[in-house]
Structure 1
Amino acid sequence: MLKIAMAQMEVIPGHPDKNAATMLRMMDEARTEHVDVIIFPEMAIPGYLLGDTWEQTSFLADCEHYGQEIIEASEGITVMFGNIAMDWEKMNNDGRVRKYNAFFTAQDGKLIAPAGQDYPFVIKTLMPNYREFDDTRHFYSLQQLALEQGKNPADLIAPVTLTLQGKSYNAGCLLCEDGWSDNYALEPLQILQDKGQIDFFVNISASPYTLGKNNKRNRVFGQQAKEASKPLFYVNAIGLQNNGKTVYTFDGASTAYNEKGQVCAMSEEYQEELTIVDMDELASMPALSDDKEPDIAHIYRALNYGVRRFLENIRMKKVVIGISGGIDSAVAAALYAKIVGPENLLLVNMPSVFNSATTKGLSKELADNLGCQYTVIPIQHSVDHTVEQLSNTPIIYLTDGSEQKLTVSSFVTENIQARDRSARILAGAAAAFGGGFTCNANKAETTVGYSTLYGDQSGFLAALADLWKYQVYALAHYMNDEVYGREVVPQGIIDIVPSAELSSAQNVDEGKGDPIKYPYHDFLFRSFIERWQKAAPEDILEWYAAGTLEENLGCEPGIVAKYFPTAQEFIADLERWWNLFTGMAVAKRIQAPPILAVSRRAYGFDHREAQNGPYYTLKYQQLKEKLLS
């Protein structure tokens, strides 16, 4: 019996001391279970998403120290783990000290080097530089090392030979991206296979959660195990890491695949645990059934875990939410109530003259359903006072002494209301309550900047800003049906037209609401940001002209003609939102709170953008002219 333990641990970024302590504890647990090999995630000691902390040599030396502690503690057990590896005598291309993202294997207090290699560790070959990843900024790859040494990269890819229970095993050691080689010129797993007998593969990862990624990984890694006819162990971290603007959950889901490519064991998502399997029995173990949970269940789990860990990290125990009677703030309230408890949640309704009795009543109903703390603080008096001050205070041009007064338009008054709610009431209430206040924006609003700077775009975290509006509604239903088992988000909030209620033109009782037509715009905006080959106006107009727009966007058939009977109306709408998406909304996103990522492309570091302004290609201009003529 060869017992392999997948040590799915919470990796705390930037805290090698805490991570090493967790590893030592799990190693002791593995020994009591007579485990032969224990496998930890990629970058288990330092964490992965550390920004330019990687440039601190004192931190790097600390990671080396704690790595050595793990090596010395490997008496009687084989330990495989990820850490930064240093070559203090060499430099990266940026002139800083040489750093490798490395896979260490230790046994009886010593490192086991890959066959015939200079370094006593496996070096990551493939360096992702997309989405949240920025590996080549910090790490020297195996490919670069091969070029430096005048060798073929395949020459430096070799198995690690282990002696376990008196028998020799060749382990194919891979680091995360090395197993996702479809779009690379090199395939490390195939190179290992071609070099001779591999007994099992190990992929240590630091892989953030993305909706649908686990199913894709099971297809890809399962196929790899099947084609090689060898077991494959995938070990991922749990926890919360960030790139400043974008916050990622790491869900674990560490998995053992047998030689048939079947999933035979999987660690619980977001749970720190030791999953032990007998490698000799993998082939006869029953395959686990495919995941049948709806997407929204996975989204809820990621949000719940992410918000909970974020609050713990910043030591915040109390939360204030401005509630309007709309779906976004209601879902945020239901989510946070489950995390901090109703006693630590304060809901604040801040009506003006434009807020209907309907939405004020729905806000109170939501608070009653949650049983949390609740208050009503009207804003009309302070808004009127601000408008009066701006309108009646003279502005003097000091060059010639002339005077004028500002004209406060209805649009400016809308923004004054939004800022009064957030910058004055919510900020003050949060400070007095001993907590922070949330940003409740969804992804559609974030895409086109349908928010007010220093107003409803403010807050310590935008937990829903990676969810489209239809996902917010799905989350409301899921929390009512599955999380709470009763109606917490009132049906009236689900049914009411979405509206900011900042003017008479947005009267919900008259069916007036936001200018965003979510059943269509959710999908249009999604094509701007989440398609791997991002759509631009040229693509949209080509699909429109060909009659394939709804098919390409994934929205309801017939909805485009419903909203836009003519090409002129369609193009005007497209350009309105594209101008905002690539214009003012960029500036707003730069100043927005951190976003909790769940999708295949989140705003922030995952979607790097510059303030370049709108652009329309020549082909777009020609097609537009043709359609309008």
Structure 2
Amino acid sequence: MKIYPVQMNVVPGKPELNFETLKKEVEKAVLNQCDLVVFPEMCLSGYLIGDLWEEHSFLDQCVEYGNRVASLSNSIDILFGNVAREDGIGENGRPFLYNAAFYASKGRFEPLIHSKGIVKHFLPKTLLPCYREFDEPRYFSDLRRLAFSLNQPLEALLKPYTRKDGIQIGISICEDAWDSIYEIKPVSILASQMNENGFLINISCSPFTLGKTDARHRVFAAHASQNKIPLLYLNSVGTQNNGKNIYAFEGDSCVYRATGEKAFEYPKFESYSTVIELDGKEIKVSEKSKPQLTGMAEVRKALVYMLSENLKRWGIERVVIGASGGIDSAVSAVLYTEALGADRVFLVNMPTRFNSKTTRNAAKDLADNLGCPYLEAPITDTIDVFCRGLSSLSFERSSVSLKVEGIHYENLQARTRSATFLATIASVLNAAFTCNGNKSEVMTGYCTLYGDTCGIV
């Protein structure tokens, strides 16, 4: 059996774009004479899309494009992730929605649940994460609730899919494999029902976290070796936004032998597909895995990748950065230069009489070293003119003074730099300007509102 797993760049909230990508990959798989092409979790809709899950027109789109995927399966089987919708009202007052897997063959969806007259042409995710960036129970029901509502044991619904050639595929979705904190073990339930011609597939949409690669390999290698069944872990790439934060998806898909050994590891942070041959418990891949980045090199790659993907998606081709001569703006300048190119990163140093020659020289050296356009724009005169004008004004029926001094003067410098100078320069250049505040400052509010908090990313 020849399998074509696609590590796909999923564009959140754009099923029409994702369908076109999927269609092209299906065509490639057919040309490679493959039997099955596999795509990641929620590959049509996107995964982290916030309350877009509550838009009925968007759900209609997802269902429509899911049906179009099925129509592509006349000459090859297709396994992919999408949202499943059923009639009725769930306990949250909305229609029943499932994060689900679909298997299409001969132009139609195959039943993935069939028990005592119950037939479902999709398989819901069993375990829904609700921690950190994950909030799936807010929108979706799971297989456990479905089993309960049908008065069926979970094992009766969670079964491997058997192809017409007798090969069984145990399908799980992302969190289903991260089962150490759960009483229910979906992968073990599937494996216990599989024959000698079995193959485990986990379709995922798992965001990048430093150190997650090692943990992921431990989890999936253990599933393969403990059950003595080859396993495919398939993740997506790209960036997605849950309405609170932007997350990068590194891919790092991997094929494991029945011993738990890696047969092939996909490259990180790029769309990729290859042909895998399954012969019983033997896995054959014609190419070798590339060396993977680790540690800070991996973090740097993730940051540049996230910036590149989002700037491209937002249509931003230039950025303006306030270069103070400090470390935060220097890091921003380096990352944006790698993402866009030096000629599209404009560095602006905005000193007052309080700034030393050392920091001004450091900002200039930064621009020279990176090859970025550079401007020194002193702001003291602008601030002083504003302060004199404001102090000459007075409220009616009040003697309060409008003299700007102390911390108010300090904050005015930050606001003048960001909300006035950088915002105006960016507007003139048809660019965006960056927020250089580090994460701890922004999280704790230890920065100037409308000053250090302004800017993108």
TM-score bracket, normalised by the shorter chain, equals over 0.9
Q: Are the structure 2 counterparts of residues 275 and 288 from structure 1 closer, same or farther at C-alpha, using a change threshold of 3 Å?
A: closer
2:180 maps to which of 179, 182, 205: 182
Quote the offset at 1:154 in angstroms.
Answer: 2.6
Q: Which stretches in structure 2 are left out of the alignment for 5+ residues?
A: none
**Residue 153 (str. 1) matches residue 154 (str. 2):** yes
What is the match of residue 322 of structure 2? 322
Quote the offset at 1:73 in angstroms.
Answer: 1.1
Structure 1: distance between partners of 2:454 and 2:236 = 31
Where 2:114 maps in the other structure, the secondary structure is coil
* Letter aligned with residue 418 of structure 1: A
What is the match of residue 240 of structure 1? 239
* Letter aligned with residue 82 of structure 1: G
Where 1:396 maps in the other structure, the secondary structure is coil
Q: Is the 8 A contact 2:267 2:289 kept in 1?
A: no
Q: Is the 8 A contact 2:203 2:234 kept in 1?
A: yes
User: How is 1:62-141 mapped onto 2 (pairs within 5 angstroms)?
Assistant: 62-87=61-86, 89-114=87-112, 116-117=114-115, 118-141=119-142
Q: Are the structure 2 counterparts of residues 282 and 425 from structure 1 closer, same or farther at C-alpha, using a change threshold of 3 Å?
A: farther
Where 1:131 maps in the other structure, the secondary structure is coil
Structure 1: distance between partners of 2:34 and 2:16 = 24
1:420 maps to which of 416, 420, 423: 416
* Letter aligned with residue 325 of structure 1: G
Q: Which stretches in structure 1 are left out of the alignment for 5+ residues?
A: 462-629
Encode CA deviations 1:583-611: one digit per residue, 9 max, x unaligned: xxxxxxxxxxxxxxxxxxxxxxxxxxxxx
Structure 1: distance between partners of 2:188 and 2:318 = 52
Structure 1: distance between partners of 2:336 and 2:90 = 44
What is the match of residue 395 of structure 1? 395
What is the match of residue 603 of structure 1? none
Structure 2: distance between partners of 1:283 and 1:59 = 39
Quote the offset at 1:131 in angstroms.
Answer: 1.2
Encode CA deviations 1:507-545: one digit per residue, 9 max, x unaligned: xxxxxxxxxxxxxxxxxxxxxxxxxxxxxxxxxxxxxxx
Quote the offset at 1:371 in angstroms.
Answer: 1.6
Q: Are the structure 2 counterparts of residues 95 and 220 from structure 1 closer, same or farther at C-alpha, using a change threshold of 3 Å?
A: same
Structure 2: distance between partners of 1:309 and 1:262 = 32
**Residue 458 (str. 1) matches residue 454 (str. 2):** yes
User: How is 1:10-409 mapped onto 2 (pairs within 5 angstroms)?
Assistant: 10-87=9-86, 89-114=87-112, 116-117=114-115, 118-163=119-164, 167-197=165-195, 199-280=198-279, 282=282, 293-397=293-397, 402-409=398-405
Quote the offset at 1:219 in angstroms.
Answer: 0.6
Indicate the RMSD between aligned Cα atoms, in angstroms: 2.0
Structure 2: distance between partners of 1:155 and 1:190 = 14
More helix by share: 1
What is the match of residue 445 of structure 1? 441
Structure 2: distance between partners of 1:34 and 1:221 = 28
* Letter aligned with residue 264 of structure 2: A
Q: Percent identity of the aligned residues?
A: 39
Structure 2: distance between partners of 1:263 and 1:288 = 11
* Letter aligned with residue 436 of structure 2: N
TM-score, length basis structure 2: 0.94
* Letter aligned with residue 416 of structure 1: L
Quote the offset at 1:41 in angstroms.
Answer: 0.3
Q: Is the 8 A contact 2:207 2:249 kept in 1?
A: yes
Relative to structure 2, which stretch is displaced further, 262-271 or 323-332? 262-271
Q: Are the structure 2 counterparts of residues 269 and 290 from structure 1 closer, same or farther at C-alpha, using a change threshold of 3 Å?
A: closer
* Letter aligned with residue 175 of structure 2: E
* Letter aligned with residue 414 of structure 2: A
Q: Is the 8 A contact 2:275 2:286 kept in 1?
A: no
Q: Is the 8 A contact 1:179 1:221 kept in 2?
A: yes
Structure 2: distance between partners of 1:258 and 1:406 = 73
* Letter aligned with residue 128 of structure 1: P
Q: Is the 8 A contact 2:266 2:272 kept in 1?
A: yes
Q: Is the 8 A contact 1:240 1:247 kept in 2?
A: yes
Quote the offset at 1:55 in angstroms.
Answer: 1.4
Q: Is the 8 A contact 2:350 2:376 kept in 1?
A: yes
Structure 2: distance between partners of 1:73 and 1:360 = 60
Q: Is the 8 A contact 2:113 2:157 kept in 1?
A: no
Encode CA deviations 1:264-283: one digit per residue, 9 max, x unaligned: 11222122121211122845
Structure 2: distance between partners of 1:233 and 1:159 = 14
* Letter aligned with residue 207 of structure 1: S
Where 1:395 maps in the other structure, the secondary structure is coil
Q: Are the structure 2 counterparts of residues 283 and 318 from structure 1 closer, same or farther at C-alpha, using a change threshold of 3 Å?
A: closer
Structure 2: distance between partners of 1:323 and 1:349 = 5
Q: How many residues align?
A: 452
TM-score, length basis structure 1: 0.69
Structure 2: distance between partners of 1:90 and 1:119 = 15
Q: Is the 8 A contact 1:114 1:161 kept in 2?
A: no
Q: Is the 8 A contact 1:262 1:287 kept in 2?
A: no
Structure 2: distance between partners of 1:115 and 1:247 = 35
Structure 1: distance between partners of 2:348 and 2:177 = 49
